[in-house]
Each structure stands twice: as C-alpha cells, then as structure tokens.
Homo-oligomer: A and B are copies of this chain.
Amino acid sequence: MNRIITIGREFGSGGREIGKRLAETLKIAYYDSEIVTGIAKKTELAEQYVHQIIEKKPLMFFPITVGKTFYDGVSPLAVEQSNAIYIEQRNIIKEMAEKSDCVIVGRCADDILADMKPLKLFIYSNMESKMERCRQNASVEEKMTDKELEKHILAVDKERARYYQFVTGKKWGERLNYDLCINTSNINPSEAVELILKLLR
C-alpha cells in the first residue's frame, strides 16, 4: 500500500506549507487545490463554481451518510450538482492515493482514505502565530486590521469545519480523527517538517 499522509490544518497554522515541503523532501506527490481543478475538468463545471460549492458554501450541511436530503428552498439541480461534485472529489482523491505515495492537504482526505491507513496529521497553532503567518504570506490579508484578520481566520476555519462535517459526519479538528496533532505556535514549517520526517524514519 502506498504511503499516504493527510494533513488537516487550521488556517494560518502553516499546514499547507508543511505539506508541500514534506512532499518535496520525500519526493512524493502533493495535492490540494489540484483536486478541485481535476474535479472541475471531470464534471465540466466552471472551476469557480465548483470551488464555491466545495470550499465555501456546501448546499447541504448534513453528513452524506445520513442518506437524506433537505431541499428546503435549494433547487434539486443544485443539490444534485453538489452531490456529483462530492462523489467526484472522493473518487479523484482515492484514485490519486492508489496511484502513488502522496501528501494530501485538506479535502477530508483523512476520512476518505481511511481504508488505506494514512498517517493523519492535524496542524494547529494559537491566534497570534496564525495572524503573524498570514501577514507574512498573504496579500489580501495584509491589508486587514488585526480585528478583521482574526475574524477572517476564524471564518475560514468555520467553513472548513462545516465542510468536514458535511462530508464525513465528524467534527473537524477533533483529536480522535488524527494520529498526531502538532502545535506550530512555537515552531516554523521547516521544524515541523523535520519533526514529521523523524517520525517517518
């Protein structure tokens, strides 16, 4: 079975950079937004629309396993498209993980690939360090006030939690969903990667 590492992460915790560096060092595949691109191509929907549904505004906020839809004002077509995208995303993630060793950041890969026994990591840090990281890395967040930035960070994670709940029926960030939860408040991405590499050796 391939070596699969899934990374869940709080916004601003450095999880994405850690995932990229880890994949680079291990010389294995790295996935995150590429998945959405793949889905968009396969389903022939505009990528922007797919991205909106998958990342920001899932149309139904209930576990897919419940097997019941609450249309409630949402058009059946939109619901069908949302379901189609979810199923397609699931297939693509599985396909990629079966193809080769890889690091997958986000996208509920920890749950989707559970059968393949991935190493499931969750990266988190305190608000102060998340804000600092956002200031260093991003262009949009640069212009925000501290208050706006904090609100933005919390909002992104709220959406992630909502989407994780939607896809897996489980609570995002709940420690039992992961093998190891790493606090990056006091370490930089390189140190976190070094730590993960030690575990893999």
Contacts and interface: CB of A to CB of B under 8 A. Distances in A.
DSSP majority for the A interface? Answer: mixed
Interface string A150-187: 00000000000000000000000101101111110110
A84 interface: no
B176 A124 contact: yes
A179 B123 CA distance: 11
Given A198-B198, A198-B199, A198-B201, A180 B179 contact: no
Contacts of A198: 198-199, 201
Contacts of A186: 179
Nearest to A185: B176
A175 to B, nearest CB: 5
A190 interface: no
Contacts of A175: 122, 124, 173, 175, 181, 183
A87 interface: no
A26 interface: no
Contact of A183 (B124, B126, B180, B185): B180
Interface string A106-135: 000000000000000010111000000000
Interface string A183-201: 1011000000001001101
A175 B125 CA distance: 9
Interface of A: 122, 124-126, 173, 175-176, 178-183, 185-186, 195, 198-199, 201
Query: 3 shortest A-B CB distances, which residue pairs?
Result: A181-B181, A198-B198, A179-B183
Given A180-B180, A180-B182, 20 more contacts: A122-B175, A124-B175, A124-B176, A125-B176, A126-B176, A175-B175, A175-B183, A176-B183, A176-B185, A178-B181, A179-B182, A179-B183, A180-B181, A180-B183, A181-B181, A195-B199, A198-B198, A198-B199, A198-B201, A199-B199
